[in-house]
Amino acid sequence: MSGEPMKLAAGTKLASAVCNAQGIIIRPPSEQGVITCGGEPVTAPGAGAGATQLTDAAEAPALIGKRYVDEATGLEVLCTKGGKGAFAFEGRPLTLKEAKPLPASD
């Protein structure tokens, strides 16, 4: 990478440098920082994986179609392609966003 941090804005596409996981920022964080997946900073899709490859699955790997959030900054990432790594922001693992229950249709 160029050494310049990735701009974190809504619609920014993310790709893990060490596994197949990809995502898109739904809600940007209240402060700039570094998003990682599998312990390595994410890149733009198509930038190519780094020299290292993640071989062991994370405790909570990235799952396609799931939203992940950082409560401290409001960051929300939608996983568009699953992978072995887990998303994190500034070293804090992103948590799986729970679906809101639908109202009863009595």
Q: In Å, how far are 2, 3, 40, 102, 105 from 86, measured between CA atoms?
A: 23, 22, 10, 28, 36
Residue pair 15/43 in contact (Cβ under 8 Å)? The answer is yes
d(CA 10, CA 24): 8
What pLDDT tens digit does each residue of the chain (106 aa) get? 445 668 899 999 999 999 999 999 999 999 999 999 988 999 988 776 555 666 555 578 899 999 999 999 999 999 999 999 999 999 999 999 988 888 887 6
d(CA 103, CA 50): 46
Q: What type of residue is 16? A: S
